[in-house]
Amino acid sequence: MVFVKFLRWAASQLGVVQLDDPAQWLKRLFLFPSADELAAARLPEGQIPNPLDWLAEALGVTDKRHIRQWILRLFIIAPGQSPREEVSFWSVFFRKAAHVFGMLFSSIGMMVTAAMFVINWIWQGLLSLLPKVNHEAVGHHLESFLETAWFHKPVLFWILVISSTFFSWLLITTPFTWSGQLLFAIAIWGTAMFVRRIPGNLPTLILIALSVMASCRYGWWRVTQTVSVNSGRETFFAISLLAAELYTWIVLLLGYVQTAWPLKRHVLSLPLDRLLWPSVDVFIPTYNEPLSVVKPTVLAVKGMDWPSDKINIYILDDGRREEFRHFARQAGVGYIVRPDNHHAKAGNLNHALKQTYGEYVAIFDCDHLPTRSFLQATMGWFIKDKQCAMVQTPHHFFSPDPFERNLGTFRKVPSEGSLFYGVIQDGNDFWNASFFCGSCAVLRRGPLEEVGGIAVETVTEDAHTALKLHRKGYTTAYINIPQAAGLATESLSGHIGQRIRWARGMAQIFRIDNPFLGKGLSLFQRICYSNAMLHFFYGIPRLIFLTAPLSYLYFQDHIISASAVMIVLYVLPHILQANLANAHIQGAYRHSFWAEVYESALAWYITVPTVVAMFNPGAGKFNVTAKGGLIERTYFDWTISTPYILLIVLNFAGLCMGVMRLFFWNTFETGTVMLNLIWTSYSLLILGVAIGVATETRQVRASHRVSARLPVALQFQDGNSVMCTTEDYSMTGLGLLLKSAQDVAQGQPLWVSLWLDEVEFTFPARVIISHGNKLGIHFDNLNLEQESNLVQCTFARADAWTDWTDEHDADHPMRNLKEIALLGIKGYLSLWRLVGAKHKLRDSFRRYLSVLN
């Protein structure tokens, strides 16, 4: 506004008539206008803006000609000009505080950006000095070298093994001074940076070796040199941190074995003669899910491409609902109920096994819609490998899980499950240890009956069944191509409930049927299974990591008895190399630092169930995961987040004490204080994200929409038509994108055509919303056949989920860190807002103030 005023004033002074003509401005800057032009440009008297007037007004100068008044008003506010409204002290205080913090953050941000820019510039300069390397060629050399005959001589092999073991041992156990350790860190990091650009699977192994070396060196140093035993409390803290680190070290190493060489199995084609294809029973167990969830699944299963005389579909209804029986009859599928609900889903499946006779059994959770190609993609391996007892495909989710929804990361950051289905199962498959995940899988009936059906001893019947099959010497297969998709758990509490069940079940198996003991497994199968189970014991270690710095910040206990510099020099290569190796292995399926977020948010809840299951495997009951619900308004799950708020308060207090220590109390060990401050700040950020997850975001739609671009034709009542594409689809409607903006009357009926391959299907529908070139339509009372066609044209397309992971952003560690920091801050802000909305804290503040007055 002021700028415009200034411009007009300047224009009137210079004689510029056309304000938006740059040429005129330029001319007038050098050429003085004639009197006429000046008169034309001059505004009528009184309208000429004068910058001095505004200044005078702002300062409270009444007489502009009075120089003394100007000087006076520059320093003393005129009477009646100062803000005199009644503003509470606290609101001003908070506003100012927020302002100061905001300034602080943005200035820190700017400084960091500037520093990064300079560092990057120098770094690029240094890099350009290095000779150019053709990584592709290096990779080829490396591989051809391994192929050469002399390399395969046993003598050489053993010499290599013995010498590398010896040198590794030397490297791991030799104590270095700080300069030596620094050199080691730089050397190993530089090697990793070079190696990771080489294509192929071999560099993965080298990166793993480097990481193992760095981590073992760190571990050796930690165990032999840094355990302090001064006081009882300090020893306790030190030992617990050491134990937690030992746990992560074991899981890291076992994980490397598990994922070193993902198998990436292909689809095998079936015999051309369809008569040779085996018979399959499809089980769809359900307990309390609504029909609207189960119906699309049954329709999708019915559409699977398989000879109709060789497939039998059964709904296994533990809810024994008349509505379901009716639907089954209508849809022409089997309906099985049993007298009791013993052993929940496992019991339900076992009961159905006794009633049916197909050679193979395919199992789908009632909300997992298979694509039509599911059986053709999976059955080939059974025919090739007669020992194969199970083929599993990924569980793919087209709706966001609580993490993705509440943090807004859906389809940007890989979800919690994608690591398991993207890498771990593929890695397991290499060792013939991929396991059954309860749904989207096919099992051979013979072996399944041989192990007594689905296992009922534990609450994770799926993994336990696979373990039993492996013990009998059968093989399993995993095909990493999404051939089915379903709904993710709706709420955080549901999600946590599901993870608790998995954790408890895995702990139960670990206790009663430990994969390291017992007969029938290869060493690597034992490792894969054990890691799958050990993974779920992350609860206590994670809690220890979240609170470990507090022991110093509160009590000055030095739980790692080493100087801060040495700690950094040892721990940094350990973390860095592990991150580099893992980013190489799983970057597309788990972004760096996100493991911390996922595990921290769940750590508290799975701690108790796993511990209980370890000591008493029989305790606890099965809980069904609720799906297909709707969160109607944004709310904060207080009960769920109480432990996190507690942890935040503890860490925040630690942070405050740390600041005091930094400046006043412990000025003699600044490094140690800084280290603990950084650690606790990091914990606070991660906890902030956990809080953000607990803020349940409102869910707008009752049925989930899947974004996809499918061709659609609309036929209107007046005979006109238009071609367009979908933006998203669901069982109830479509979001459409027209090529040009069109006026479409809302509420008008129309026909929608979708195509399956080349066959057109039309559906009656109604326009719900029309805005520019976007159109929302709602289907109008589809009959069962139309619903079936709709499922076939949308969810059950063979390529429905194949390009899903391509949409994830790539893994950029530094960017992730920044993103997580922002999400953490956002979490705190949303907590603050919700607290404000509840008026709880604010009210208590007011009461406190009134007491003071």
Partner 1 sequence: MFKIAIISATGGAGRSSLTANLATLLAQRKIPVLALEFDPQNSLSTLLGNEMLCTDGLLPDFLAAQPFGKSALLDSDGVAYLPFGQSDTDSLEKFEQHLRTEPDWLMQSIAKVDFPSGAFLLMDTPRLPSVYAHQAMHAADLVLVVLAPDVRSLTLLPAIDAASKACSPARPFIYVMNGLDSTRTLQNKLFEDARLTLQSRLSPYSVHRDEAIPRAFANHANLYDDSPDSLAIHDLNGLLNWLSDASSLDGR
- Residue (of 700, 699, 706) closest to 399 by Cα position: 706
323 binds partner 1 (CB under 8 A): no
Tokens of residue 646, six digits? 């507690």
Nearest distance from C-beta of residue 510 to partner 1, angstroms: 56
44 binds partner 1 (CB under 8 A): no
Nearest distance from C-beta of residue 302 to partner 1, angstroms: 19
What are the phi and psi torsion angles at 713 (to 5°)?
-115, 135
Count CB-CB contacts under 10 A for residue 602. Answer: 24
Tokens of residue 431, six digits? 């060792």
- Rank residues 108 and 759 by Cβ distance to partner 1 and give the closer one: 759
- Residue (of 279, 313, 307) closest to 294 by Cα position: 313
Q: Can you tell me which of 703, 715, 732, 805 binds partner 1, judged by CB under 8 A?
A: 715
355 binds partner 1 (CB under 8 A): no
| Cα separation, 96 vs 375, whole angstroms | 64
The residue range among 57-65, 112-120, 711-719, 801-809 that interacts with partner 1, by the rule CB under 8 A, is 711-719
3-state secondary structure of 73: helix
Nearest distance from C-beta of residue 795 to partner 1, angstroms: 22
Cα of 157 vs its chain's centroid, Å: 42
161 binds partner 1 (CB under 8 A): no
Long-range contacts, stretch 146-151, CB < 8 angstroms, 24+ apart: 146/202
- 318 annotated active-site: yes
Alpha helices in 635-736 (DSSP H): 638-660, 670-694
Nearest distance from C-beta of residue 497 to partner 1, angstroms: 46
Q: Can you tell me which of 639, 720, 850, 853 binds partner 1, judged by CB under 8 A?
A: 720
| Cα separation, 661 vs 517, whole angstroms | 50
- Rank residues 375 and 736 by Cβ distance to partner 1 and give the closer one: 736
- Is 701 in contact with 561 (CB distance < 8 Å)? no
The residue range among 204-212, 573-581, 671-679, 721-729 that interacts with partner 1, by the rule CB under 8 A, is 721-729
Which amino acid is present at 827? G
How many residues form the binding site for partner 1 (CB under 8 A)?
17
H/E segment holding residue 600: helix 594-615
Cα of 609 vs its chain's centroid, Å: 24
Q: Can you tell me which of 247, 335, 622, 751 binds partner 1, judged by CB under 8 A?
A: 751
The residue range among 88-96, 501-509, 511-519, 754-762 that interacts with partner 1, by the rule CB under 8 A, is 754-762
The structure tokens 């919690």 sit at 416
- Rank residues 229 and 723 by Cβ distance to partner 1 and give the closer one: 723
- Rank residues 179 and 720 by Cβ distance to partner 1 and give the closer one: 720
392-402 burial, b at 16+ Cβ within 10 Å, e below that, comes to bbbbbbbbbbb
721 binds partner 1 (CB under 8 A): yes
Angle at alpha carbon of residue 650, lines to 236 and 602, rounded to 5°: 85
743 binds partner 1 (CB under 8 A): no
Tokens of residue 23, six digits? 């040429």
- Residue (of 761, 721, 755) closest to 738 by Cα position: 721
Task: Give CA separation, 336 vs 313, 346, 349, 352, 694, in Å.
Answer: 10, 14, 10, 7, 39
Nearest distance from C-beta of residue 305 to partner 1, angstroms: 18
Nearest distance from C-beta of residue 793 to partner 1, angstroms: 13
713 binds partner 1 (CB under 8 A): yes
360 forms beta bridges with 280, 444
Alpha helices in 695-782 (DSSP H): none
- Rank residues 508 and 770 by Cβ distance to partner 1 and give the closer one: 770
| Cα separation, 29 vs 594, whole angstroms | 59
Site pattern 722..741 for partner 1 (x: CB under 8 A): xxx-------------xxx-
760 binds partner 1 (CB under 8 A): yes
- Rank residues 37 and 727 by Cβ distance to partner 1 and give the closer one: 727
- Name residues contacting partner 1, limited to 114-153 (CB under 8 A): none
**First-to-final CA distance of the chain:** 43
Among 281, 317, 318, 557, the one annotated catalytic: 318
Tokens of residue 734, six digits? 């479509």
Nearest distance from C-beta of residue 711 to partner 1, angstroms: 8
The residue range among 320-328, 413-421, 563-571, 752-760 that interacts with partner 1, by the rule CB under 8 A, is 752-760
Tokens of residue 796, six digits? 């059950």
- Rank residues 20 and 758 by Cβ distance to partner 1 and give the closer one: 758
Q: Listing from the earlier edge strand, what are the strands of the sheet with 484-486?
A: 368-370, 484-486, 396-397
758 binds partner 1 (CB under 8 A): yes
850 binds partner 1 (CB under 8 A): no
Nearest distance from C-beta of residue 737 to partner 1, angstroms: 11
The residue range among 8-16, 453-461, 720-728, 834-842 that interacts with partner 1, by the rule CB under 8 A, is 720-728
Bridge-based pairing state of the strands 635-636 and 695-696? antiparallel
H/E segment holding residue 774: strand 774-779
- Rank residues 128 and 720 by Cβ distance to partner 1 and give the closer one: 720
H/E segment holding residue 714: strand 711-716
228 binds partner 1 (CB under 8 A): no
Residue 577 CB contacts under 8 Å (≥ 6 apart), including other chains? 188, 189, 192, 207, 210, 211, 213, 214, 215
- Rank residues 739 and 839 by Cβ distance to partner 1 and give the closer one: 739
- Rank residues 498 and 792 by Cβ distance to partner 1 and give the closer one: 792
What are the phi and psi torsion angles at 738 (to 5°)?
-85, 160
- Rank residues 83 and 719 by Cβ distance to partner 1 and give the closer one: 719
The residue range among 309-317, 688-696, 710-718, 799-807 that interacts with partner 1, by the rule CB under 8 A, is 710-718
The residue range among 212-220, 365-373, 617-625, 716-724 that interacts with partner 1, by the rule CB under 8 A, is 716-724
Among 281, 462, 557, 637, the one annotated catalytic: 462
840 binds partner 1 (CB under 8 A): no
- Rank residues 120 and 721 by Cβ distance to partner 1 and give the closer one: 721
| Cα separation, 552 vs 554, whole angstroms | 5
| Cα separation, 705 vs 727, whole angstroms | 9
Which amino acid is present at 35? A
- Rank residues 22 and 719 by Cβ distance to partner 1 and give the closer one: 719
Nearest distance from C-beta of residue 28 to partner 1, angstroms: 49
Phi-psi region of 293 (alpha: psi -120 to 50; beta: other; left: phi over 0): alpha
The residue range among 80-88, 414-422, 517-525, 719-727 that interacts with partner 1, by the rule CB under 8 A, is 719-727
762 binds partner 1 (CB under 8 A): yes
280 forms beta bridges with 311, 360
- Is 393 in contact with 484 (CB distance < 8 Å)? yes
88 binds partner 1 (CB under 8 A): no
- 462 annotated active-site: yes
What are the phi and psi torsion angles at 20 (to 5°)?
-95, 20
Angle at alpha carbon of residue 809, lines to 807 and 813, rounded to 5°: 160
Nearest distance from C-beta of residue 724 to partner 1, angstroms: 7
- Is 210 in contact with 188 (CB distance < 8 Å)? yes
The residue range among 207-215, 345-353, 546-554, 756-764 that interacts with partner 1, by the rule CB under 8 A, is 756-764
So which residues are the catalytic ones? 318, 462
Q: Which residues are near partner 1 by CB under 8 A?
A: 713, 715, 718-724, 738-740, 751, 753, 758, 760, 762
